[in-house]
Amino acid sequence: MIEKNELRSSIFKHLDGLATAPVAVALQKKGITDYLLEHKTATLSDLVSLFKANEGYLNVGLRVLASQGFIDYDVDNASDVISFRTNEKSETAFGLFYLYEDVVELLHFSSDFHPRIFEEEPFRKLDLIFEKFKSGYGLEMSDDSLKNEIQRQVLKHIEGYLVGPTLVRLGMNGMFHKYFMEISFRPEEYHRSPDEFRKILDFFVHLGWFMEKKGNYQFTDSGLFFAKRASAYGVTVSYLPTFAKIESLMFGNPSILRMQPDGSEEIHVDREMNVWGSGGAHDTYFKVVDEILIRLFNLPIEQQPKGILDMGCGNGAFLQHIFEVIDRQTLRGKMLDDHPLFLVGVDYNQAALKVTRANLIKADIWAKVIWGDIGRPDILAEDLMENYAIDLKDLLNVRTFLDHNRIWEDPKHISEGRISSSTGAFAHRGRRISNALVEDNLYEHLQKWSPYVSKFGLLLIELHTIDPKLTAANLGRTAATAYDATHGFSDQYIVEIDVFNKIASEAGLYPDPEIFRRFPDTDFATVSINLLKGRKQS
């Protein structure tokens, strides 16, 4: 039986592949990988000039390769110079980049079809890649252990493209309902094109995820592991529209994904899929915030917030969880008739608001669900007071994985002498944003919220980057490569945990040391839970 740690490692490596393959193909096509092999080292500014690239997104792309260990990445924040070097893996890795071409071609071709339906034309291409993959692309193991390791790494990336989008489609369409997971079934019982669907199941048999007997299929233990974790692929797969445009982002029109005539629809991400995937991933962190909520809502009533505002409410799962914890496990839950709990769900995205309303109504939970911009708490405060007679300062403000997704604004004040400690790669519409500017921007962003959260605090679950050297040293143990790609190419700003906490303190919001958690609890943590308060905690 395969160990769960090995299966979990495969998920991380699959996510690595979703981000790495299109970047690798684009960089090789433009000649950058050949240039690096010839010259051994180059600065970002040199590559931008020689290859007519968009500096911000090229930086993100090359950092993706560094996170996989294929090159070395160095950012000198004092001089604001970024440089790259080849290493012992570069030549072998670059020589295998051609293997990514099939899945990247499929990615481009599939962009014209519905992302959550198995349509026959892209499937035929997928089936051809299945057969190539089953034969290992003709690669042979050698006496060179490093070469073998890189071959396995690249093949695992390709496997990610073959199974990731497929798992998400099946998961969203109900394939992983308990009924199908516990019994054997025939393809015609599930899919309108059983012959095509059978080929997918046969590929899963090849991977050891299904057993087949006389035309009936049943999950193996390994298959059940992945089926139950299909949502773990959801967020990264939802960014395939962005990955399909990576060549244009790095070398063409950097605004290609922001060109909707009325700006009403997101085209860089499948938002419904994103909400589905992120909702599934939040459960791990919800459990950790329970103790905070229980402690706060067991205080004397005059010391408790009047309610909770969830900025960036997504699918409403976090707000629902919060209400259920307070209702069932706190003194406030026994006093709701006399002291009702004001719940406010806020999001910038209309699709997310629609999902939140539906889910809270279904759960029989009263809440105000309104539009709001995380960058304008002043407007939100006015809206709440004028339309609902709710003072934003009287609420516990919470949010999950949102502050990094603020709309970019150039800082109004540049900190003299600030030398960033971040290793991140940041961009806005292709323009590179220096790490020092990102820190200044974060400082001003948190300063805007400081007056509204000083009373009861700001409870955050936040995403972070890590040094690409750490990522490369922990392949199969972190999704940092995928996080950096999805967020870097879509103008989001994830900084390291220590950088975030440092800037928050500068803005007068101090992490409560009794509350602070990081996930995993290692030096390559990419998620933190914080309760930021207006007074420094001892």
* DSSP per position, 331-372: TGGGGTTTS--EEEEEES-HHHHHHHHHHHHHTT---EEEE-
How many Å separate Cα 314 from the centre of its chain? 14
- Indicate the SS3 state at residue 221: helix
Query: What burial class does residue 348 get, using C-beta atoms within 10 Å of its C-beta: 0-12 exposed, 13-18 middle, 19+ buried?
Result: middle
pTM of the model: 0.93
221 and 299 in a common domain: no
pLDDT in the model for residue 188? 87
- pLDDT given at position 121: 79
DSSP alpha helix (H) spans, 256-309: 271-281, 283-296
For the chain, the domain total comes to 2
User: Is 145 in the same domain as 119?
Assistant: yes
Amino acid at 47: L
Would you give the end-to-end CA distance of the chain in angstroms? Answer: 48
pLDDT (tens place) for every residue of the chain, 538 residues total: 568 899 999 999 999 999 999 999 999 999 999 999 999 999 999 999 999 999 999 999 999 999 999 999 999 999 999 999 999 999 999 999 999 999 999 999 888 777 766 677 777 888 899 999 999 999 998 999 999 999 999 999 999 999 999 999 888 887 777 666 778 888 888 777 788 889 999 999 999 999 999 999 999 999 999 999 999 999 999 999 999 999 999 999 999 998 655 445 678 999 888 878 887 667 778 888 898 899 999 999 999 999 999 998 888 888 999 999 999 999 999 999 999 999 999 998 888 899 899 999 999 999 999 999 999 999 999 999 998 899 999 999 999 888 999 999 999 999 888 999 999 999 999 999 999 999 999 999 999 999 999 889 999 999 999 999 999 999 999 999 999 999 999 999 999 999 999 999 999 999 999 899 999 999 999 999 999 988 765 5
What's the rounded Cα separation, in Å, for the pair 57 and 50?
15
Residue that the structure tokens 């025939």 belong to: 186
Is the residue at 247 inside a domain? yes
Whether residues 308 and 177 share a domain: the answer is no
Asked if 22 and 135 sit in the same domain, the reply is yes
In three-state secondary structure terms, 22 is: helix
252 and 277 in a single domain? The answer is no
Quote the Cα angle for 67-70-75, to 5°.
Answer: 55
State the Cα torsion 412-418-421-425 to the nearest 10°: 40
Q: Is 279 in the same domain as 425?
A: yes
- Contact between 324 and 343 under an 8 Å Cβ cutoff? The reply is no
Distance CA 435, CA 422 (A): 6
Place of tokens 């990445």: 73
Q: Same structural domain for residues 230 and 355?
A: no
- CA nearest 122: which of 105, 136, 101, 135? 105
- Inter-helix orientation angle 120-134/194-207, to 10°: 30
User: Which domain range does residue 451 map to?
Assistant: 271-533
Q: At 278, list the tokens.
A: 């992120």
* Sheet of 81-86, strand order: 41-43, 81-86, 71-76
538 Cβ neighbours under 8 A, 6+ residues apart:
none
Calculate ∠ Cα 307-311-314, nearest 5°.
Answer: 115
Per-residue 3-state assignment (H helix, E strand, C coil) for 162-187: HHHHHHHHHHHCCCCCHHHHHCCECH
Same domain, 355 and 500: yes
Scored b (16 or more CB within 10 A) or e, 397-409 reads bbbbbbbbbbebe
CB 519 within 8 A of CB 285: yes
Q: Please identify, among 225, 258, 291, the residue that sits at the C-terminal boundary of a domain.
A: 258
Q: Provide the token pair at 410.
A: 């150039």
Boundary-marking domain end, from 258, 286, 314? 258
Please check whether residues 232 and 298 belong to one and the same domain: no
How open is the CA angle 528-321-452, to the nearest 5 degrees?
60
DSSP class of residue 406? Answer: P
> Are residues 135 and 155 in contact, defined by beta-carbon separation less than 8 angstroms?
no
Query: Is 443 part of any domain?
Result: yes
Give the CATH number, domain containing residue 501.
3.40.50.150
Contact 235, 281 (CB under 8 A): yes
DSSP bridge partners of 346 = 311, 370
User: Does residue 437 sit in the same domain as residue 356?
Assistant: yes
Residue 183 and residue 292 share a domain: no
**Residues 220, 439: Cα–Cα separation, whole Å:** 48
pLDDT at residue 380, as a whole number: 96
For residue 168, tell me if it sits in a domain. yes
Are the C-beta atoms of residues 256 and 249 closer than 8 Å to each other?
yes
* Dist. CA 63–CA 71, nearest whole Å: 8
3-state secondary structure of 310: strand
Q: Which of 258, 280, 311 is the last residue of a domain?
A: 258
